[in-house]
Chains A and B, each alone.
Chain A
Amino acid sequence: MAENTGTMTANTSQNVHEHEHENHSFFGFWMYLMSDCIVFGCLFTSYAVLRNQFAGGPTSKEMFELSRVAIETALLLTSSLTFGFAMLQARHNSKNGTLLWMVVSAILGLGFLILEIQEFIAFVQHGASPTVSAYWSAFFTLVGTHGLHVTLGLIWMIVLMIQLVTKGLNKKMMPRLACMSLFWHFLDIVWICVFSFVYLLSMA
Protein backbone atom coordinates (compact mmCIF):
# COMPACT_ATOMS: atom_id res chain seq x y z
CA MET A 1 0.00 0.00 0.00
CA ALA A 2 2.79 2.41 0.90
CA GLU A 3 4.37 1.50 -2.42
CA ASN A 4 1.21 2.50 -4.30
CA THR A 5 0.97 5.89 -2.60
CA GLY A 6 4.55 6.49 -3.66
CA THR A 7 3.63 5.73 -7.27
CA MET A 8 0.61 7.98 -7.07
CA THR A 9 2.71 11.10 -6.66
CA ALA A 10 5.36 10.08 -9.18
CA ASN A 11 3.28 8.91 -12.11
CA THR A 12 0.30 9.94 -14.17
CA SER A 13 -3.00 8.52 -13.01
CA GLN A 14 -3.24 6.22 -16.04
CA ASN A 15 0.04 4.50 -15.24
CA VAL A 16 -1.05 4.05 -11.66
CA HIS A 17 -4.28 2.56 -12.86
CA GLU A 18 -2.48 0.07 -15.13
CA HIS A 19 -0.03 -0.95 -12.46
CA GLU A 20 -2.78 -1.47 -9.91
CA HIS A 21 -4.76 -3.43 -12.45
CA GLU A 22 -1.76 -5.76 -12.99
CA ASN A 23 -1.31 -6.21 -9.26
CA HIS A 24 -4.99 -6.99 -8.84
CA SER A 25 -5.13 -9.59 -11.60
CA PHE A 26 -1.95 -11.17 -10.23
CA PHE A 27 -3.33 -11.28 -6.70
CA GLY A 28 -6.68 -12.57 -7.98
CA PHE A 29 -4.90 -15.41 -9.74
CA TRP A 30 -2.94 -16.15 -6.58
CA MET A 31 -6.23 -16.41 -4.65
CA TYR A 32 -7.55 -18.83 -7.29
CA LEU A 33 -4.44 -21.00 -6.84
CA MET A 34 -4.89 -21.01 -3.07
CA SER A 35 -8.50 -22.19 -3.39
CA ASP A 36 -7.34 -24.79 -5.91
CA CYS A 37 -4.91 -25.95 -3.22
CA ILE A 38 -7.89 -26.59 -0.92
CA VAL A 39 -9.68 -28.47 -3.73
CA PHE A 40 -6.65 -30.78 -4.01
CA GLY A 41 -6.58 -31.05 -0.21
CA CYS A 42 -10.15 -32.46 -0.35
CA LEU A 43 -9.26 -34.89 -3.14
CA PHE A 44 -6.18 -36.07 -1.20
CA THR A 45 -8.42 -36.53 1.85
CA SER A 46 -10.92 -38.75 0.04
CA TYR A 47 -8.00 -40.72 -1.42
CA ALA A 48 -6.44 -41.17 2.04
CA VAL A 49 -9.74 -42.31 3.59
CA LEU A 50 -10.36 -44.85 0.80
CA ARG A 51 -6.74 -46.01 0.50
CA ASN A 52 -7.50 -49.64 1.45
CA GLN A 53 -10.95 -50.04 -0.12
CA PHE A 54 -10.06 -52.29 -3.04
CA ALA A 55 -13.34 -54.30 -2.82
CA GLY A 56 -11.44 -57.47 -3.68
CA GLY A 57 -10.26 -55.96 -6.98
CA PRO A 58 -6.74 -55.05 -8.09
CA THR A 59 -4.61 -53.29 -5.46
CA SER A 60 -2.41 -50.27 -5.98
CA LYS A 61 0.73 -52.29 -5.20
CA GLU A 62 0.02 -54.68 -8.07
CA MET A 63 -0.61 -51.87 -10.53
CA PHE A 64 1.90 -49.09 -9.85
CA GLU A 65 5.12 -48.94 -11.84
CA LEU A 66 7.62 -46.69 -10.04
CA SER A 67 10.01 -46.29 -12.97
CA ARG A 68 7.26 -44.62 -15.01
CA VAL A 69 6.38 -42.36 -12.07
CA ALA A 70 10.06 -41.41 -11.73
CA ILE A 71 10.20 -40.34 -15.40
CA GLU A 72 6.93 -38.39 -15.05
CA THR A 73 8.34 -36.62 -11.99
CA ALA A 74 11.57 -35.74 -13.79
CA LEU A 75 9.66 -34.37 -16.80
CA LEU A 76 7.32 -32.17 -14.74
CA LEU A 77 10.05 -30.90 -12.41
CA THR A 78 12.33 -29.98 -15.32
CA SER A 79 9.39 -28.34 -17.09
CA SER A 80 8.85 -26.18 -14.01
CA LEU A 81 12.52 -25.13 -14.11
CA THR A 82 12.47 -24.31 -17.83
CA PHE A 83 9.34 -22.19 -17.39
CA GLY A 84 11.20 -20.31 -14.68
CA PHE A 85 13.92 -19.63 -17.28
CA ALA A 86 11.23 -18.45 -19.72
CA MET A 87 10.07 -15.93 -17.11
CA LEU A 88 13.63 -14.70 -16.55
CA GLN A 89 14.04 -14.23 -20.33
CA ALA A 90 10.75 -12.33 -20.45
CA ARG A 91 11.96 -10.01 -17.70
CA HIS A 92 15.10 -9.39 -19.77
CA ASN A 93 12.81 -8.46 -22.69
CA SER A 94 14.03 -11.33 -24.84
CA LYS A 95 11.08 -12.55 -26.89
CA ASN A 96 12.96 -15.39 -28.60
CA GLY A 97 14.49 -16.61 -25.36
CA THR A 98 11.04 -16.66 -23.73
CA LEU A 99 9.58 -18.56 -26.68
CA LEU A 100 12.43 -21.08 -26.71
CA TRP A 101 12.08 -21.95 -23.02
CA MET A 102 8.28 -22.05 -23.32
CA VAL A 103 8.54 -24.55 -26.18
CA VAL A 104 10.89 -26.69 -24.05
CA SER A 105 8.45 -26.49 -21.09
CA ALA A 106 5.48 -27.39 -23.30
CA ILE A 107 7.29 -30.41 -24.78
CA LEU A 108 8.27 -31.67 -21.31
CA GLY A 109 4.71 -31.11 -20.07
CA LEU A 110 3.34 -32.98 -23.07
CA GLY A 111 5.71 -35.87 -22.34
CA PHE A 112 4.36 -36.02 -18.79
CA LEU A 113 0.79 -36.04 -20.05
CA ILE A 114 1.42 -38.78 -22.62
CA LEU A 115 3.04 -41.01 -19.98
CA GLU A 116 0.12 -40.42 -17.62
CA ILE A 117 -2.49 -41.21 -20.27
CA GLN A 118 -0.57 -44.40 -21.21
CA GLU A 119 -0.53 -45.33 -17.52
CA PHE A 120 -4.29 -44.78 -17.13
CA ILE A 121 -4.99 -46.87 -20.26
CA ALA A 122 -2.75 -49.67 -18.92
CA PHE A 123 -4.55 -49.59 -15.54
CA VAL A 124 -7.98 -49.85 -17.16
CA GLN A 125 -6.80 -52.67 -19.46
CA HIS A 126 -5.54 -54.59 -16.41
CA GLY A 127 -8.89 -54.30 -14.70
CA ALA A 128 -8.32 -51.23 -12.52
CA SER A 129 -10.92 -48.85 -13.90
CA PRO A 130 -12.59 -46.11 -11.82
CA THR A 131 -15.78 -48.18 -11.47
CA VAL A 132 -14.02 -51.23 -9.93
CA SER A 133 -13.62 -50.02 -6.35
CA ALA A 134 -13.72 -46.97 -4.10
CA TYR A 135 -9.92 -46.89 -4.17
CA TRP A 136 -9.67 -46.62 -7.94
CA SER A 137 -12.48 -44.01 -8.04
CA ALA A 138 -10.53 -41.87 -5.59
CA PHE A 139 -7.25 -42.51 -7.44
CA PHE A 140 -8.57 -41.52 -10.87
CA THR A 141 -10.35 -38.47 -9.45
CA LEU A 142 -7.23 -37.17 -7.70
CA VAL A 143 -4.59 -37.96 -10.34
CA GLY A 144 -7.04 -37.25 -13.17
CA THR A 145 -7.82 -33.78 -11.80
CA HIS A 146 -4.10 -33.03 -11.71
CA GLY A 147 -3.75 -34.33 -15.27
CA LEU A 148 -6.65 -32.14 -16.36
CA HIS A 149 -4.91 -29.12 -14.83
CA VAL A 150 -1.74 -29.99 -16.77
CA THR A 151 -3.79 -30.32 -19.98
CA LEU A 152 -5.39 -26.90 -19.48
CA GLY A 153 -1.97 -25.47 -18.58
CA LEU A 154 -0.56 -26.77 -21.86
CA ILE A 155 -3.42 -25.23 -23.86
CA TRP A 156 -2.90 -21.93 -22.03
CA MET A 157 0.84 -22.12 -22.74
CA ILE A 158 0.23 -22.66 -26.47
CA VAL A 159 -2.18 -19.70 -26.53
CA LEU A 160 0.45 -17.52 -24.84
CA MET A 161 3.11 -18.66 -27.33
CA ILE A 162 0.84 -17.69 -30.24
CA GLN A 163 0.22 -14.29 -28.61
CA LEU A 164 3.97 -13.86 -28.13
CA VAL A 165 4.66 -14.58 -31.81
CA THR A 166 1.86 -12.39 -33.17
CA LYS A 167 1.84 -9.50 -30.70
CA GLY A 168 5.34 -9.56 -29.28
CA LEU A 169 6.46 -9.16 -25.70
CA ASN A 170 4.34 -6.13 -24.88
CA LYS A 171 3.33 -4.80 -21.48
CA LYS A 172 0.10 -6.78 -21.36
CA MET A 173 1.99 -10.07 -21.78
CA MET A 174 3.98 -9.84 -18.56
CA PRO A 175 1.11 -10.40 -16.07
CA ARG A 176 -0.22 -13.22 -18.28
CA LEU A 177 3.16 -14.94 -18.32
CA ALA A 178 3.56 -14.38 -14.58
CA CYS A 179 0.16 -16.01 -13.86
CA MET A 180 1.01 -18.90 -16.19
CA SER A 181 4.31 -19.49 -14.39
CA LEU A 182 2.54 -19.49 -10.99
CA PHE A 183 0.07 -22.06 -12.32
CA TRP A 184 2.81 -24.28 -13.76
CA HIS A 185 4.93 -24.21 -10.59
CA PHE A 186 1.80 -24.87 -8.52
CA LEU A 187 1.03 -28.01 -10.55
CA ASP A 188 4.55 -29.23 -9.90
CA ILE A 189 4.04 -28.74 -6.15
CA VAL A 190 0.77 -30.72 -6.28
CA TRP A 191 2.63 -33.48 -8.16
CA ILE A 192 5.16 -33.73 -5.29
CA CYS A 193 2.28 -34.70 -3.00
CA VAL A 194 0.86 -37.08 -5.63
CA PHE A 195 4.04 -39.07 -6.14
CA SER A 196 4.90 -39.07 -2.42
CA PHE A 197 1.53 -39.93 -0.93
CA VAL A 198 -0.17 -41.81 -3.75
CA TYR A 199 2.57 -43.75 -5.53
CA LEU A 200 5.48 -44.08 -3.11
CA LEU A 201 3.38 -44.56 0.03
CA SER A 202 1.42 -47.37 -1.64
CA MET A 203 4.67 -49.19 -2.46
CA ALA A 204 6.26 -48.64 0.97
Chain B
Amino acid sequence: MTENHTTASEGVGHGSVASYIVGYVLSIIFTVIAFYIVMEHTLSTMATATTLGVLAALQVIVQSMFFLHVSIAPEKRVDLVSYTFSLFVAIVIVFGTLFVMHNASYNMMSR
Protein backbone atom coordinates (compact mmCIF):
# COMPACT_ATOMS: atom_id res chain seq x y z
CA MET B 1 0.00 0.00 0.00
CA THR B 2 2.75 2.38 1.02
CA GLU B 3 4.78 1.36 -2.03
CA ASN B 4 1.86 1.94 -4.35
CA HIS B 5 1.11 5.30 -2.87
CA THR B 6 4.70 6.53 -3.11
CA THR B 7 5.19 5.45 -6.70
CA ALA B 8 1.85 6.87 -7.74
CA SER B 9 2.47 10.32 -6.29
CA GLU B 10 6.14 10.46 -7.28
CA GLY B 11 5.37 9.29 -10.77
CA VAL B 12 3.61 12.56 -11.53
CA GLY B 13 5.81 15.08 -13.29
CA HIS B 14 9.12 13.27 -12.99
CA GLY B 15 9.55 12.86 -16.70
CA SER B 16 10.64 9.99 -18.89
CA VAL B 17 13.54 9.39 -21.25
CA ALA B 18 11.39 10.85 -24.03
CA SER B 19 10.57 14.07 -22.15
CA TYR B 20 14.23 14.61 -21.22
CA ILE B 21 15.27 14.10 -24.86
CA VAL B 22 12.57 16.52 -26.07
CA GLY B 23 13.80 19.15 -23.60
CA TYR B 24 17.40 18.55 -24.62
CA VAL B 25 16.73 18.78 -28.37
CA LEU B 26 14.65 21.96 -27.98
CA SER B 27 17.42 23.50 -25.86
CA ILE B 28 20.01 22.64 -28.51
CA ILE B 29 17.87 24.20 -31.25
CA PHE B 30 17.43 27.46 -29.30
CA THR B 31 21.13 27.57 -28.38
CA VAL B 32 22.31 26.95 -31.95
CA ILE B 33 20.02 29.70 -33.31
CA ALA B 34 21.33 32.11 -30.63
CA PHE B 35 24.98 31.40 -31.44
CA TYR B 36 24.30 31.47 -35.19
CA ILE B 37 22.69 34.93 -35.28
CA VAL B 38 25.52 36.38 -33.19
CA MET B 39 28.38 34.71 -35.07
CA GLU B 40 26.98 35.44 -38.55
CA HIS B 41 25.80 38.99 -37.74
CA THR B 42 22.64 38.37 -39.78
CA LEU B 43 20.54 40.91 -37.85
CA SER B 44 20.96 44.46 -36.60
CA THR B 45 22.24 44.88 -33.03
CA MET B 46 18.78 45.73 -31.69
CA ALA B 47 17.12 42.81 -33.47
CA THR B 48 19.87 40.45 -32.28
CA ALA B 49 19.43 41.58 -28.67
CA THR B 50 15.65 41.11 -28.85
CA THR B 51 15.98 37.67 -30.45
CA LEU B 52 18.52 36.63 -27.81
CA GLY B 53 16.11 37.68 -25.06
CA VAL B 54 13.23 35.75 -26.60
CA LEU B 55 15.36 32.63 -27.20
CA ALA B 56 16.70 32.71 -23.63
CA ALA B 57 13.18 33.07 -22.21
CA LEU B 58 11.94 30.17 -24.37
CA GLN B 59 14.83 27.98 -23.29
CA VAL B 60 14.32 28.79 -19.59
CA ILE B 61 10.65 27.81 -19.97
CA VAL B 62 11.51 24.59 -21.83
CA GLN B 63 14.12 23.52 -19.27
CA SER B 64 11.87 24.44 -16.32
CA MET B 65 9.16 22.22 -17.81
CA PHE B 66 11.21 19.25 -18.96
CA PHE B 67 14.10 19.25 -16.43
CA LEU B 68 12.80 20.98 -13.28
CA HIS B 69 9.29 19.55 -13.87
CA VAL B 70 7.51 22.78 -13.04
CA SER B 71 3.92 22.09 -14.03
CA ILE B 72 0.37 23.16 -13.40
CA ALA B 73 -0.48 19.81 -11.77
CA PRO B 74 -2.47 20.48 -8.55
CA GLU B 75 0.00 18.64 -6.27
CA LYS B 76 2.84 20.82 -7.56
CA ARG B 77 0.91 24.07 -7.12
CA VAL B 78 3.11 25.37 -4.25
CA ASP B 79 6.24 24.83 -6.37
CA LEU B 80 4.68 26.72 -9.26
CA VAL B 81 3.58 29.62 -7.06
CA SER B 82 7.02 30.04 -5.44
CA TYR B 83 8.66 29.67 -8.87
CA THR B 84 6.48 32.36 -10.42
CA PHE B 85 6.95 34.64 -7.44
CA SER B 86 10.76 34.45 -7.40
CA LEU B 87 10.87 34.89 -11.18
CA PHE B 88 8.66 37.97 -10.77
CA VAL B 89 10.94 39.38 -8.06
CA ALA B 90 14.05 38.72 -10.18
CA ILE B 91 12.49 40.44 -13.21
CA VAL B 92 11.43 43.47 -11.13
CA ILE B 93 14.96 43.73 -9.71
CA VAL B 94 16.59 43.53 -13.17
CA PHE B 95 14.31 45.82 -15.16
CA GLY B 96 13.49 48.16 -12.26
CA THR B 97 17.18 48.78 -11.58
CA LEU B 98 18.00 49.22 -15.27
CA PHE B 99 15.15 51.74 -15.60
CA VAL B 100 16.19 53.72 -12.53
CA MET B 101 19.90 53.67 -13.36
CA HIS B 102 19.25 54.73 -16.94
CA ASN B 103 17.26 57.74 -15.77
CA ALA B 104 19.85 58.59 -13.15
CA SER B 105 22.71 58.59 -15.62
CA TYR B 106 20.61 60.50 -18.16
CA ASN B 107 19.60 63.24 -15.73
CA MET B 108 23.04 63.55 -14.19
CA MET B 109 24.66 63.52 -17.65
CA SER B 110 27.24 60.99 -16.53
CA ARG B 111 27.12 59.28 -19.91
Which residues of A have CB within 8 Å of B15? Answer: 84, 88
A48, A49, A77, A189: the one within 8 Å of B64 (CB)? A189
If A49-B101, A196-B55 touch, does A37 touch B93 (CB 8 Å cutoff)?
no
A6–B5 Cα distance when bound, in Å, is: 10
A6, A31, A201: the one within 8 Å of B52 (CB)? A201
Q: What's the interface size class on B, roughly?
A: 35 or more
- Give the interface SS of chain B, mostly helix, strand, loop or mixed: helix
CB of A14, distance to nearest CB on chain B (Å): 10
> What are the interface flags for B87-111 relative to A under an 8 Å C-beta threshold, 1 for contact and 0 otherwise?
1011101100110010000000000
Closest A residue to B59 by beta carbon equals: A192
- Give the interface SS of chain A, mostly helix, strand, loop or mixed: helix
Closest A residue to B85 by beta carbon equals: A34
Contact B45 A204 (CB under 8 A): yes
If A30-B82, A87-B14, A91-B14 touch, does A204 touch B5 (CB 8 Å cutoff)?
no
A-B contact count (CB 8 A): 120
A64–B6 Cα distance when bound, in Å, is: 48
Which residues of A have CB within 8 Å of B39? Answer: 66, 203
Tell whether A41 is near chain B: CB-to-CB under 8 Å: yes
CB of B60, distance to nearest CB on chain A (Å): 6
State the interface size on chain A (CB cutoff 8 A).
47
Query: Counting chain A CB atoms within 10 Å of each CB, which of B23, B34, B55 scores highest?
Result: B34
Contact A38 B97 (CB under 8 A): no
Contact A7 B68 (CB under 8 A): no
> What are the interface flags for B53-80 relative to A under an 8 Å C-beta threshold, 1 for contact and 0 otherwise?
1011001100110011000000100110
A201–B67 Cα distance when bound, in Å, is: 25
Residues of B within 8 A of A (CB): 1-2, 5-6, 9-10, 14-17, 20-21, 23-24, 27-28, 31, 34-35, 38-39, 45, 48-49, 52-53, 55-56, 59-60, 63-64, 67-68, 75, 78-79, 82-83, 85-87, 89-91, 93-94, 97-98, 101
12 contacts between A and B (CB under 8 A): A6-B5, A10-B1, A11-B5, A27-B79, A38-B93, A41-B93, A44-B94, A45-B93, A48-B98, A78-B24, A80-B24, A201-B49
Return the 8 tightest CB-CB contacts between A and B, nearest first.
A41-B90, A34-B86, A196-B56, A185-B67, A204-B48, A84-B20, A81-B24, A200-B38
